[in-house]
Amino acid sequence: MVHRLLSERLIAPLSVPSAEPQRSTLIEAWKEILLKEEYGTPLPPPDTLFFDEKEPEKQDRNFCAGFALRYQVIACGTLCGRSFSFPFTVVLPKTEGKHPFFVCNNFQAELPNKYAPVEELIERGFGLLHVCYKDVTSDDGDFTNGIAGCLYPDGIRPTKDAPGKLAMWAWANMRLMDYALTLSCLDGAKGTVIGHSRLGKTALLTGLLDDRFAAIASNNAGCSGDALTRGKEGEHISNITTNFPYWFCENYKKYTDHSRLTFDQHLLLAALAPRLVMIGAAEEDIWADPNAQFLSCVAASAAWESYGVKGFVSPDRLPTAGDDFREGALCYHLRTGAHYLSRRDWNIYMDILSEKL
């Protein structure tokens, strides 16, 4: 059934060579298309980078009833010869050992918040590096502030494939990973980038650009993220390029009529193989379209199989609320409720990470 649905959406099964270098060449071609036509060319690494940590006396050593340490860090440096800085928060379990951790780009700066249940993360043994996306650059068409101002001091993107705001938020995620790798209490091989909605799209792009992340969690990312565009319900490219054209590169406007698409979002998922990828959907989130998210997983699965790794394993039917498909390295769950990054979603992601990483 699902393969018939893919055929109706004009999605051909992926054919991924199992041998190198043919496989790497193919995946690099997918990445080139996605970056040139949708997300924009990647930002360069910082010219200089350092981390300004708060003095020990300003650290919160009694956070979460004393089970965690919380403190703020300012990422500082230069990019394209211009200065930047943005704050982020670090929360670390006080238990001994090297901990898995999340890098979370979020809608709010304070912790805890409705999208980041910090106490549950600490109880499960996870660290958290948390940044508010608007502290990196604003969520609008102003390209003169924050990281955007380093790239475009006059506020004008010079080329059609110049990166938009999603690429800048992804760049910030990578700087948090830079910092995580300096901490002896964190296991650098067990870092997960997570995001919700537009920041779920950002998490996927982060994983595409930075293979230091062992896992990627994309929650309700939907259109131009983890959902197939062809045949999709709810949000479409035309909605994004009308309301949020600054998220993507200018080339993406060519696909407002999505019948012109020469690629689709399953290539983004496939390019993340063979790492652990977790897709979260919600039954009432028709704007994101849970079925299109599910079918994207089905269409991408062959990339994992080309590495000899189980990809997406599911019944031959569309998902129903309560489904949690985690047998392979490409996972999908569909919960009841609406568009939201809930504690139920976080617990599913932590369960999978504890099992598979």
Is 90 exceeded by the pLDDT of residue 259?
Answer: no
Find residue 103's DSSP bridge partners.
129, 193
Please report, rounded to a whole number, the percentage of residues in the chain having pLDDT higher than 90. Answer: 93
Q: Longest C-alpha distance within the chain, in Å?
A: 62
Q: Long-range contacts for 24-30 (Cβ within 8 Å, ≥24 apart)?
A: 27/270, 27/271, 27/273, 27/303, 30/263, 30/267, 30/268, 30/270, 30/271
Predicted confidence band at 6 (pLDDT cuts at 50, 70, 90)?
A: confident
Cβ burial of 104 (10 Å; 0-12, 13-18, 19+) is: buried
pLDDT for the residue numbered 92: 96
Q: How would you label 153-176 residue by residue, b for 16+ Cβ within 10 Å and e otherwise? A: eeeebeeebbbbbbbbbbbbbbbb
Local confidence band at 57 (pLDDT 50, 70, 90 cut-offs): low
Closest CA to 176 of 291, 46, 32, 280: 46
* Residue 133: partners with Cβ closer than 8 Å, 6 or more residues away: 105, 106, 107, 139, 169, 172, 199, 202
Catalytic residues: 197, 339
Please give the average per-residue pLDDT across 11-39, as a whole number.
95
Q: Residue 23: pLDDT band by 50, 70, 90 thresholds?
A: very high
The pLDDT confidence band at residue 247, using thresholds 50, 70 and 90, is: very high
pLDDT tens digits, 88-98: 999 999 999 99
- Long-range pairs for 206-210: beta carbons < 8 A, 24 or more residues apart: 206/103, 206/170, 206/173, 206/174, 207/272, 207/275, 207/277, 208/31, 208/34, 208/39, 208/268, 208/271, 208/272, 209/42, 209/170, 209/174, 210/170, 210/173, 210/174, 210/177
Query: CA–CA separation, 270 vs 260, rounded Å?
Result: 21
Percent with pLDDT over 70 in the chain: 99
pLDDT of residue 13: 86
Q: What is the pLDDT of residue 187?
A: 98
For residue 58, give both structure tokens. Answer: 């300003």
The reported pLDDT for the residue numbered 56 is 63
The string of pLDDT tens digits covering residues 107-137 is 999 999 999 999 999 999 999 999 999 999 9
Question: Is the distance from CB of 283 to CB of 322 less than 8 angstroms?
Answer: no
| 145 DSSP 8-state letter | S
Residue 166 has pLDDT above 70, yes or no: yes
Report which of 179, 224, 214 is spatially closest to residue 193, judged by C-alpha positions.
214
The DSSP string of 208-221 is HH-TT-SEEEEES-
Q: Which pTM value belongs to this model?
A: 0.97
